[in-house]
Amino acid sequence: MLTRARRLRLDERVRNMTRETRLSKDSLIYPIFVEEGKDIRTDIVTMPGQKRYSIDTMGEELEAVSKAGVKNIMFFGAPAHKDECGSGAYHDHGIIQEALRAAKKDFPQLYYIGDVCMCEYTSHGHCGILKGDTVDNDKTLPLLAKTAVSQVKAGADMVAPSDMMDGRVLAIREALDEAGCEDIPIMSYAAKYASAFYGPFREAAGSDNFKGNRKTYQMDYHNRREALKEVFLDLEEGADIIMVKPALSYLDIIREIRDHIDVPVAAYSVSGEYAMIKAAAMAGMVEEDAIVAETTTSIFRAGADMLITYFAKEVAQMIQSGRIG
Ligand code: PBG
């Protein structure tokens, strides 16, 4: 035998030396839910370990995140009032806008990404304004653009449209440029699938009012080529970063996109992925740390350059200790 694959596995130092996938804390993004009100630290029941904070308490979590070495935050808002046209999304004093102002002031070392969507702010829970029982694409675009500009004016360093309307990247790019924000990057949720894995997010973001599904705008999970179509459209419209969502059931999509484009690819390991790992670990069926280490590494191995994950603090610690990466 000339080749013995085990030679490179027999010593931990060699195994670490020859790892093909490297992880960095710099690539982690942590999502936080901010609710309108005071003194709020509400446990999100379907996402054990995650809480909804108000602006006056979110500093505790931003502090913990920062201490863990995670540098990037994605904000989601849970407003006190919702209406037909989701006006809380683009109000200059909306929950996200105020949260961004406060966070930028108290934790200027962190990088803030605003999720641009209307579903947390609409009374019907859809990601845009309705015409009959479906979302009116073109009427929604200016509102998304307005949302992005108001988030950036409030301090967002980057915006991430997650609504899946056609043409939103261009609409947002033009509005940002017009407002003098031409240096703000857009991370597009380009390949976002209509997924049952978003279930716990509805509780987390206080959008359990939503009934139905998002199949008329989010992608059908049978499709792979269509993901590339969405990606190329968004790149033509000016997207700086492309996102795939969810992550774990879509590793093939991450790889496909990575192999076809040159811009950074992000993956979002969503609420249901987090919940499944937590539930299995709490039932004593799997070892949480080991599963988090393995699944997280697999997303980077598939080709993601960065990862949005509710496990960001734990993953940062694993990278710090040398367990992964
Ligand atoms: C808003 C949005 C959703 C998620 C991120 N942005 C919900 C949805 O599209 O239904 C889901 C995130 C998660 O499940 O962790 N459109």
Q: How many CB atoms lie within 10 A of CB 27?
A: 21
Ligand 1 center–CA 174 separation, angstroms: 24
Continuous segment of H or E residues that includes residue 139: helix 137-154
The pLDDT of residue 204 is: 87
Pairwise CA distance, residues 305 & 241, whole Å: 10
Residue nearest to atom 11 of ligand 1 (CA): 198
187 pairs with which residues across the strands?
241
- With b for 16 or more beta-carbon neighbours within 10 A and e for fewer, the 28-61 pattern comes to bbbbbbbbbbeebebebebbeebbbbbbebbeeb
**Residue in the block written with tokens 């998304």:** 144
Task: Spot the catalytic one: 25, 245, 278, 313.
Answer: 245
Enumerate residue ranges in the chain where pLDDT < 70.
Answer: none
Ligand 1: list residues with CB < 6 Å: 115, 117, 119, 127, 162, 198, 201, 214, 270-271
| Amino acid, single-letter form, for residue 257 | I
Burial class, 109, CB count within 10 angstroms (exposed 0-12 / middle 13-18 / buried 19+): exposed
Give φ, ψ of 160 to 5 degrees: -130, 95
Ligand 1 center–CA 246 separation, angstroms: 9
Q: How many CB atoms lie within 10 A of CB 91?
A: 18
The pLDDT of residue 122 is: 96
| Amino acid, single-letter form, for residue 37 | G
The pLDDT of residue 112 is: 98
Look up residue 106 and give its two tokens. Answer: 């108290």
Pairwise CA distance, residues 251 & 304, whole Å: 9
pLDDT tens digits for range 97-113 = 999 999 999 999 999 99
Pairwise CA distance, residues 82 & 89, whole Å: 9
Contacts with 151 (C-beta within 8 Å, 6 or more apart), sequence order: 96, 97, 100, 114, 116, 159
Residue nearest to atom 7 of ligand 1 (CA): 198
Ligand 1 center–CA 295 separation, angstroms: 20
The pLDDT of residue 207 is: 83
- Binding positions for Mg(2+) are 230
Task: Spot the catalytic one: 192, 211, 278, 313.
Answer: 192
Ligand 1 center–CA 20 separation, angstroms: 31
Q: Class for domain 23-241, per CATH?
A: alpha beta
Active site residue 245: yes
